[in-house]
Amino acid sequence: MIGVIDYGAGNLGSVMNALRRLNVPARFARGPEDMRDFEKIIFPGDGHFATAMASLERSGYASAIKEWMQADKPFLGICIGLQLLFDASEEAPPVDGVVASGLSVVSGTVRRFPGRKVPQIGWNNTKARPSSRLFKGLPDNSFFYYIHSFYAYPDDDAIVAAEADYYLTYCSAVERGALCAVQFHPEKSGATGLKLLENWTL
């Protein structure tokens, strides 16, 4: 059974619909204590970095997700679910000298695109690395649906599973052990996105 974390963000229905199309058993987690009942976890969503992180802290999901990661259990982050894995984001500038931190399960930061046309909205080709499990069986430079103004910049290039180009070449997916996360929305990316989700569920 797959658990989908609901902390008040959007796109949760789209994720659940995609899993139904794949005939994969899934339900929303009722709270952080409910996570122990699942074999795999999906952490989707959108929104502001600091606001989303504050919601995770209030709900108790922040510590539960960290414990899940420490146990190296299967995890898929989507959009803000990728960015919150990092140490900090330029979307959350210092307030009174204090930087809003992320979950810090992936070393690195989240940065704003340098160009003026943000957010990036729409389809973009995504270049997967040959070793990627998520992109197995997908054509080179497959297109996925993106909507974001900030991009992940991991300290360790070895965890980068795929890249895309928008003003610069940036990390659009990471893989490390049982941890996977993507910047794009596979649940909104048609047959290609469904194939990627299927790869992760296997």
Kindly state the tokens that stand for 180: 């996977």
Task: Give the residue-averaged pLDDT of 95-103.
Answer: 67
Residue 190, phi-psi category: left (phi > 0), alpha (psi -120 to 50), beta (remainder)? left
**Coil, helix or strand at residue 118:** coil
- Indicate whether 12 pLDDT > 90: no
Question: Which letter does DSSP use for residue 3 in this model?
Answer: E
Query: Mean per-residue pLDDT for 54-64?
Result: 92
C-alpha span between 66 and 96 (Å, rounded):
27
**Among all residues, which ones are annotated catalytic?**
79, 185, 187
The pLDDT of residue 101:
86
* pLDDT over 70 (residue 10): no
- Cβ-based neighbours of 69, under 8 Å, separated by 6 or more: 75, 103, 105, 179
Q: Provide the residue ranges of all domains of the chain, joining segments of one domain with +.
A: 2-201
pLDDT at 69 over 90: yes
Buried b (16+ CB within 10 A) or exposed e, 44-53: bbbbebbebb
Look up the pTM and report it: 0.94
Architecture of domain 2-201: 3-Layer(aba) Sandwich (3.40)
Q: Are 32 and 6 in contact (CB under 8 A)?
A: no
How large a percentage of the chain has pLDDT more than 90? Answer: 81
User: Residues 149-202: pLDDT tens digits?
Assistant: 999 999 999 999 999 999 999 999 999 999 999 999 999 999 999 999 999 999
